[in-house]
Structure formats: structure tokens, C-alpha cells
Structure 1
Amino acid sequence: MDCKGACATGSSHAAGAIAGYQVQPDLYTVVDASLIGGASALVPDLDTNGLASNRITISKKFTLWLMQFVGIGILVAIAYQFFTTGFTPSIILYAGIGLLFFIVSRFITQRRMLTLTGVMVMWLGIEVHQSTGILLAGSYIVIASFLPHRSYTHLLLGHAFYAFILSHLQQEWEFEVLLVSGTVG
């Protein structure tokens, strides 16, 4: 679903709210379902450098600055160590790591920031009690970061995978409206 269609009119948000009302007709459930449905309506557009992918990724400018700072910091520390204690084999390794940080920072794109975000979500899934749902969500983001717009994430296969992720999250978090409103949204 393209955000120029349903997102602009709010029909995807309404669909999530209606799904929530069908599950349990109380105000909190309807609000939760509306938020989940609205957020889920943006998921297919993770495969583009647009609203969805730019909202969940870490700032490219901050990451570039941080990588350059770390790279230069490592190189300065290595130079200091070289001049104070002399040459050691580890200097070459750490100098290579510092240069790698600096060089990679020059070539990173917003799309690769989305990839890194997906990897970090997967890492979070490992850290949070081996959460299969969070691991799957991270893998969905990583896959979307490598695909052209209107491909996998806009197909029924992508929708089925997203529903599979939601079903795992619903089981793990015991959040009754998650699967229905997220899938409908």
C-alpha cells in the first residue's frame, strides 16, 4: 500500500481502529489498534528512502560523525602508543580498525543505515530474552533495506511474513489486538 493512497486519507488508521473494536470494544483497545494499524500501514515503505525508513533509522549525520570520531580517536591512540612504547604487532591491527571506521564512514548511505538498524533490532531480540518476534522484525528490516521500492514488502509474501512477525510478538507480549490491527493496517 503506497502512502499516497490510504495513509493520506487515514483509511489504514481507521481499519486498525475497526479491527481493535472488533477484538474488544473499549476506548484503550481502539486507540492502541489505531496506533498499531497506522504504524503498520507504513511498514511496506521500509524499502524506500522515505518516511518509514528515515523515521526508524539512526541519524546518518550522527553515525558518520561518530564513526569518524572513533576512527580518528583510535589512530591518535595508536600514534601515542607507538611514540611512547614503540612498535607492537597490535598497533597494525588497531590502526587498521581505525582506518576502517574512517573509510566506511565516507561510503555509508541511508539505506545501509536501515540495514544497521535492522541488525541492531535483531541484536535487541537476542538480548531481550531471545525474542523470536523481535529477531524476525529485525530480519524484515534488513531484507527491506536491500530491495527496490514496491517489491517484497508490497507483495502478499511480505504481508504474510509481517503477519507471522506480529503473531510471534502477540504471543510474547500477550497483546491481544496486535495481530489483527497490525495485519489489517
Structure 2
Amino acid sequence: MKGSSHAVIGVTAGAIAGYQVQPDLFTVAVSSIVGGVSALVPDLDTNGVASNKITISKNVSQWLMRLVGAGIFIAIAYQFLTTGFTPSILLYGGIGLLLFIASRFITQRRMLTLTGIMVIWLGIVMHQSTGILLAGIYIAIASFLPHRSYTHSLLGLAFYAFILHQLQQEWLIDGILVAGICGYASHLVADMKLLPMNRRGVKLFAPLWNKEW
């Protein structure tokens, strides 16, 4: 199923869940957004639709790495001409060289890993937000998983529900937990082999049971 279809189903599921929690416009609106986003989260795994949406293009990343590396080398040359050789030149020179080397081997999958690491760092910076920290861990782990594996299972749903629980406690916004669970679950249901448009199903009980449903 296409990402747009998952999003529409997730928005609907989130809106209904939010209305059940608190029948006011703000709660329903927030729950709709949470449901729509949550419906795309399972596809953060490798080759999933959502994984390419939240990461910077590989070509852009390579260009940025080379640009920063060149900037470091220019700064080193200026420092050498003005103050002479210092031990820091070797350190920064190594960093610049590493950026140039990494730019040749970076892949879109590793860009997703870096995105997860950045979110983890954001969680630490933002008053050590446990919810954001766990979200970064989820993204980083998903970057190493094959498509329709653990993110498409009840284990993935449980981990995501724990993240939502932490975020709801930190942000004090009603409906986040229920709407997010409904949105995520809607993705699993929509990808099940029981539906005629799906040739593949989902391994709901992985890793305990790898049968596709």
C-alpha cells in the first residue's frame, strides 16, 4: 500500500481515537496529525517509504560533507600561515580527511542512521527528553532492519507505544498515546496478507513466530 493511503487511514483512525478521548477541535486536530504520522512510522525500516522522506538526499549529504571538509582544510592552511604548525592541525586535518572519505561511501540507509543519532542528541539537549531520545533510538534501529520485519510487528508497536507514553507525559497533550497506537496499528492491518491487494503480509509475532498474516 502507498504511503499516502497509509497516511489517510492513519489520520482517520487518529481523529476517531482523539474524539473518543476528548471531543474538542484541538484534541481531534492533534490526534489526526499524530495518527497520520504514526501510520508512516513502520516504513522507517530499510527500503520503507518513510525512511527516504525524513533523511537528507545522499547527494546533498555528500556535497555538505565535502564542503565542510574543504572549509576545514582552508582554515588549517590559514592557521599554518599565520601561527605555524600546531598539534591541532593534525586533529582537524584528520577530521577533514575523514569527511571526504565518508562522503564517498555514505548510503541512504546510513543517512537514516545519522538521522536517528541526531534525534537522540536532540533528546539529550532538550532537557533530556526520554520520549525524543527513544524516538531517535527507534529510527536508528529501524535503519538496520529489512522491510516489513520488526517495525511491522507487535513488538514494534509496543516499543512505539512506550515512546508515545513518554511523550504524552512530557508534553501533557491528551490523545497522543491512543491516536498514535491506532495510527501505527492501522498500518499493520492495512499491510496484512488478508487484504487482496497485498501479496506479502506482516510478521505480527516476530521474532517468536515468523508466520506472515
Task: Tell me, yes or no, whether TM beats 0.5.
Answer: yes
1:160 alignment counterpart: 158
2:10 alignment counterpart: 12
- Secondary structure of the 2:127 match is coil
The correspondence for 1:54, drawn from 52, 55, 62, is 52
- In the aligned structure 2, how far is the partner of 1:4 from the partner of 1:134? 23
Per-residue CA distance 1:105-138 (angstroms, 9 max, x = gap): 1111111111111111111111111110010001
Specify whether residues 148 and 50 from structure 1 end up closer, same or farther in structure 2 by C-alpha distance, changes over 3 A only: closer
CA contact (8 A) 2:117 2:137 kept: yes
Gaps of 5+ in 1: none
1:121 alignment counterpart: 119
- In the aligned structure 2, how far is the partner of 1:7 from the partner of 1:94? 46
Please tell me the residue identity of whatever aligns with 2:6.
C
- The normalised TM-score by structure 2 is 0.78
2:65 alignment counterpart: 67
- In the aligned structure 2, how far is the partner of 1:82 from the partner of 1:5? 54
Please tell me the residue identity of whatever aligns with 1:157.
L
Specify whether residues 80 and 26 from structure 1 end up closer, same or farther in structure 2 by C-alpha distance, changes over 3 A only: closer
- In the aligned structure 2, how far is the partner of 1:16 from the partner of 1:90? 53
- In the aligned structure 2, how far is the partner of 1:22 from the partner of 1:83? 69
1:23 alignment counterpart: 21
CA contact (8 A) 2:19 2:28 kept: yes
Deviation, structure 1 residue 162: 0.1
% identical equivalent positions: 72
Which one has a larger percent helix, Structure 1 or Structure 2? 1
2:139 alignment counterpart: 141
Please tell me the residue identity of whatever aligns with 2:53.
R
Deviation, structure 1 residue 84: 4.9
- Secondary structure of the 1:58 match is coil
- In the aligned structure 2, how far is the partner of 1:37 from the partner of 1:107? 36
- In the aligned structure 1, how far is the partner of 2:25 from the partner of 2:3? 28
Deviation, structure 1 residue 6: 5.5
- In the aligned structure 1, how far is the partner of 2:87 from the partner of 2:3? 57
Gaps of 5+ in 2: 184-213
- The normalised TM-score by structure 1 is 0.89
1:88 aligns with 2:115: no
- In the aligned structure 1, how far is the partner of 2:111 from the partner of 2:85? 36
CA contact (8 A) 1:71 1:99 kept: yes
Deviation, structure 1 residue 14: 1.4
Per-residue CA distance 1:2-56 (angstroms, 9 max, x = gap): 5469517x33321111111111112332222111111100000000344312222
- In the aligned structure 2, how far is the partner of 1:27 from the partner of 1:76? 55
CA contact (8 A) 1:144 1:153 kept: yes
Per-residue CA distance 1:64-99 (angstroms, 9 max, x = gap): 222101112222332344455444333322221111
CA contact (8 A) 1:60 1:109 kept: yes
